[in-house]
Amino acid sequence: MTLPYGDVGLAMTQQDALTGNIASSTAGVVVRSSIRSDNNRRATRAALPAAPLLIFLLLFLVIPIGSVVHTAISDGEIAKALPLTTQALQAWDGDELPATAIFMKLGQELEAAGHVGSVRPLARRLGYELTGGASAILNAQRALSEDFDRADPKAWKAHLIKADGAWGQGGVWSIIKQHDSRYSAFYLRWATGFPVKIEADGSLSRESSYDFRSIYLRTILISLVVTGLTIVIGYPVAYVIANSSGRTAAVLLFFILLPFWTSLLVRTMSWIVFLQTNGVLNNALAGTGLTSEPLPLLYTRMATIIAMIQIQLPFTVLPMISVMRAIPANHVKAARSLGAGPLLAHATIFLPQAVPGIAAGGLLTFVLCLGFYLTPALVGGPSDQMVSFFIARFTNEDLNWGLASALSVILIFGAGIVALPLARHVARHSSDRI
């Protein structure tokens, strides 16, 4: 059918409009995509100066923490040395001793482990979980060098049980059965205070072990006390510095920053000189007649807390000064002009505005206190040692890196759980004051 000229024109106009809309929409998408790409390129270029820091943090913070987490869950000594024995034990119900063929397989794998030097790591690992476990492995490995009928599985069983009675009970076999993987939560359970060691008969071990839950509680309590006292002592100092000017503020700030110019070891050693039996403080007390004999000041909880307060005070005061200096002075003046006394004006006007600085300083101090090692180790007693002391002991003395890593993981995540919500709270309420 032939369309009138006007209808043809109308049809062309509608088609052109539809085509134009599609083209306009496509062009809009292209423009928005171009703008987004341009913004991304600008953001990338703006972040380039921070790239060295990000690379540094990746290499020396993220990767080491990942390595610590990996070490905390790595538990492959048994699975590596006794792969066939752990596999064969999966069908063992635990009611009776394993089949004689499993004794034979264990003996053969212990001989092979002796050739590749993995017997001692295996003995050390089994000793963590079984009383006398290390001796059981070493006695069995020594007995396998003797002559016996190696073709008879019953001879392997009798020879191993004769070498160490633990092989005639179910405890050691249940441990080997559980560790058919290179990863486990054994060290994390140990570090969180759960009983992990058993006797040869499968009952809980009667050996005394570290009470890690008390150690965590002690670490938290000492950190809280130090944080609270540094806030109480530091707040007036920060207020005076924030509201002073000229030489007074400079001198006070100099004394706050002075500890940063000396090493932590020197500052801690100075407390030993000051608090020891024949130290400065005891001599002064005896000289003034206040005491007739030296007081036991060193290697006490009090010495630990005092030394930590002195070391942590700058970290608490500096954020408070930063926030207090941003508080307009006319706020308190306005409150005073309306009839409020100096204490009421300070408590209701100045103090609430200083809370973000107090919280930031307290949070920084608390997190740093959780990881304190040197000061409690030098001026504290045995009952004053914190988690870091035991991490160092298990790393350097006991060579139990799995437990040391597990303690580190719990300390890191525990500090993160406490710090992150508080840090978000401080950031949300501090706005531009910090």
Q: Are 128 and 196 in contact (CB under 8 A)?
A: yes
DSSP, collapsed to helix, strand or coil, labels residue 191 as helix
| Residue 5 banded pLDDT, cuts 50, 70, 90 | very low
Residue 22: pLDDT band by 50, 70, 90 thresholds?
low
Nearest to 103 by CA among 179, 158, 165, 171: 158
* One-letter amino acid of 308: M
Q: What are the pLDDT digits (tens) for 232-246?
A: 999 999 999 999 888
Report the pLDDT value the prediction gives residue 4, as an integer from 0 to 100.
46
The pLDDT score that the predictor gives to residue 155 is 93
> What's the CA gap between 44 and 74, in Å, rounded?
38
Q: Are 241 and 252 in contact (CB under 8 A)?
A: yes
Residue 188 is classified by DSSP as H
Res 196: pLDDT: 93
3-state secondary structure (DSSP) of residue 278: coil
Q: Is the pLDDT at 103 greater than 70, yes or no?
A: yes
Mean pLDDT, rounded, for 351-364 = 92
Cα 270 from Cα 268, distance rounded (Å):
5
Taking 80 as the threshold, does the pLDDT of residue 41 lie above it?
yes
Q: Which of 187, 182, 180, 181 is nearest to 69 (CA)?
A: 187
Tens digit of pLDDT for each residue in 143-153? 998 988 989 99
Average pLDDT of the residues of the chain: 89
pLDDT tens digits along 361-394? 999 999 999 999 999 999 999 999 999 999 999 9
**pLDDT digit string, tens, across residues 177-191:** 999 999 999 999 999
Q: Distance (Å, rounded) from C-alpha 368 to C-alpha 347? A: 29
Average pLDDT of 102-129?
94
| Other Cβ atoms within 10 Å of 92 Cβ, number | 17
